[in-house]
């Protein structure tokens, strides 16, 4: 996201919490299972704050617009320790936006009503709760620690205590019926939730599901079933008047995740914590991306260690802007991308862009370039053809 010369640069912070009570068999996120009574709550906050001090020079001239505590399961983090991290982050910036968005990812198995209230009192205005399904057979298949009753109760409690609540829903489980998925959507919305991220179950290689699938021991839904479930979600949420503002995200009016929109628009973000990724612009056509040490114990000992770094030049910045921006309903903003990349987004891909526009895969409207929603099932291929 661009800012006027002399104005602070809008910047988000992502804090990764690298532990979960149990590793789900489909999950390839950077997270380790942990006995909850062994979590180093305060030492982890200390490490995050040490990393933040190390980045102080990079934070000059920036305005903090959102903080997202993701994971892993940050609802396992003691609220006092999380609050200390949040306060440290806010103090590290020259300016904090008046309507800063602070989100914490939670699991139903580690969130009580009291906990939700304490998080709100600590400055958290939004919870993102990993429900995944409201069918007990699907929850067992996914290796989740909660059942559907607990999931509904958690969403209702969260909505009673925190102004904004989102939940994740997964689709594509073997044998999943369209009407059962539709019922899940209705029951979720009835709890008061105003934002849903609906993701297809994907089989990742380095997971238990990946090994079982390779060995022919895991059944997955056929391709066309994924498409049917995706389109069913589109119809149901559209009927509710919600906006599918990104390929996997639906929101009631005004409930879009500002943190994620900032990211999809190519905004600057700082990653803190084990395995966190950050990317900061360093001037037109120049950005720096890093990934932190992913092993939690090593991160605790040395929180300023980068496991990977990458310099992004003009063409990489344009490619990222296309990949992320075209996932959103609004699309990619051409002028902003031109300014950030110091390069015209059309340069070197004129033919590909013009062909996609002719086929109706892309719509060029003023300063915006977008993929129409009825082509979103082919989105990955459309974007790939531009490179």
Q: Which residues bind to ligand SF4, rule: CB under 6 A?
A: 20, 23-24, 27, 29, 31, 71-73, 107, 130
The minimum distance between CB 21 and ligand SF4, in angstroms, equals 8
Residue 135 vs 370, nearer CB to ligand SF4: 135
Residue with smaller CB distance to ligand SF4, 24 or 362: 24
Residue 291 or 330: the one with the smaller Cβ distance to ligand SF4 is 291
Q: Name the minimum Å distance from CB 297 to ligand SF4.
A: 18
> What span, in angstroms and rounded, lies between the C-alpha atoms of 291 and 305?
9
From the CB of 168, what's the least distance to ligand SF4, in Å? 9
Is residue 210 within 8 Å of residue 256, measured between CB atoms?
no
Rounded distance, CA 28 to CA 26, Å? 7
> Least distance from C-beta 350 to ligand SF4, angstroms?
41
User: Closest CB to ligand SF4 among 52 and 82?
Assistant: 82
Please name the residues in contact with 279: beta carbons below 8 A apart, sequence gap of 6 or more: 268, 269, 271, 287, 288, 289, 290, 312
Task: Using the minimum distance from each CB to ligand SF4, give the nearer residue, 23 or 41.
Answer: 23
Residue 214, SS3? helix
φ and ψ at residue 251, rounded to 5 degrees: -140, 140
C-alpha distances (whole Å) from 200 to each of 222, 228, 242, 319 are: 12, 11, 19, 24
Please state the closest distance from residue 356 (CB atom) to ligand SF4, in A: 34
Provide, rounded to whole angstroms, the least separation between the CB of residue 46 and ligand SF4.
Answer: 23
Q: Is the Cβ of residue 201 or residue 300 nearer to ligand SF4 in the bound state? A: 201
Q: Which two tokens stand for residue 332?
A: 């990619």
Q: Report residue 128 as tokens.
A: 């993102």
Pick 75 or 336: Cβ nearer ligand SF4: 75
Distance from C-alpha of 287 to C-alpha of 290, rounded to nearest angstrom = 10
Q: Is the dihedral of CA 78, 81, 87, 92 positive or negative?
A: negative
What is the helix (H) or strand (E) element at residue 184, kind and residue range? helix 178-190
| Rounded least distance, CB 362 to ligand SF4, Å | 33
């Amino acid at each position: 996201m661009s800012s006027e010369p002399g104005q602070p640069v809008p910047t988000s912070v992502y804090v990764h919490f690298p532990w979960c009570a149990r590793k789900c068999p489909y999950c390839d996120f950077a997270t380790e299972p942990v006995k909850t009574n062994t979590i180093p709550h305060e030492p982890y906050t200390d490490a995050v704050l040490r990393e933040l001090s190390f980045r102080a020079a990079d934070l000059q001239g920036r305005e903090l617009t959102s903080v997202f505590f993701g994971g892993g399961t940050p609802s396992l983090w003691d609220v006092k320790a999380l609050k200390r991290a949040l306060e440290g982050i806010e103090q590290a910036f020259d300016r904090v936006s008046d309507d800063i968005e602070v989100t914490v990812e939670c699991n139903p198995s580690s969130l009580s009503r009291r906990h939700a209230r304490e998080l709100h009192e600590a400055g958290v205005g939004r919870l993102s709760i990993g429900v995944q399904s409201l069918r007990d057979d699907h929850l067992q298949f996914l290796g989740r620690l909660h059942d559907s009753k607990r999931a509904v109760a958690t969403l209702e409690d969260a909505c009673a205590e925190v102004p904004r609540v989102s939940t994740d829903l997964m689709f594509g489980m073997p044998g999943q019926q369209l009407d059962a998925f539709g019922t899940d959507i209705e029951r979720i919305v009835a709890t008061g939730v105003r934002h849903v991220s609906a993701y297809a179950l994907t089989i990742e290689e380095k997971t238990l599901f990946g090994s079982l699938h390779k060995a022919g021991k895991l059944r997955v839904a056929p391709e066309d079933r994924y498409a049917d479930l995706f389109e069913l979600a589109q119809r149901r949420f559209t009927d509710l008047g919600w906006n599918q503002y990104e390929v996997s995200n639906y929101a009631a009016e005004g409930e879009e995740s500002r943190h994620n929109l900032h990211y999809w628009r190519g905004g600057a973000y700082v990653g803190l914590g084990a395995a966190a990724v950050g990317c900061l612009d360093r001037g037109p056509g120049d950005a720096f991306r890093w990934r932190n040490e992913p092993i939690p114990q090593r991160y605790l000992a040395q929180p300023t260690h980068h496991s990977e770094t990458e310099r992004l030049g003009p063409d990489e910045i344009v490619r990222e802007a296309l990949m992320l921006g075209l996932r959103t309903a609004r699309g990619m903003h051409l002028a902003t991308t031109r300014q950030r990349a110091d390069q015209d987004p059309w340069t070197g891909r004129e033919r590909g862009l013009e062909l996609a526009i002719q086929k109706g895969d892309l719509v060029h409207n003023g300063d915006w370039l977008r993929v129409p929603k009825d082509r979103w099932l082919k989105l990955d291929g459309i974007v790939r053809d531009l490179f």
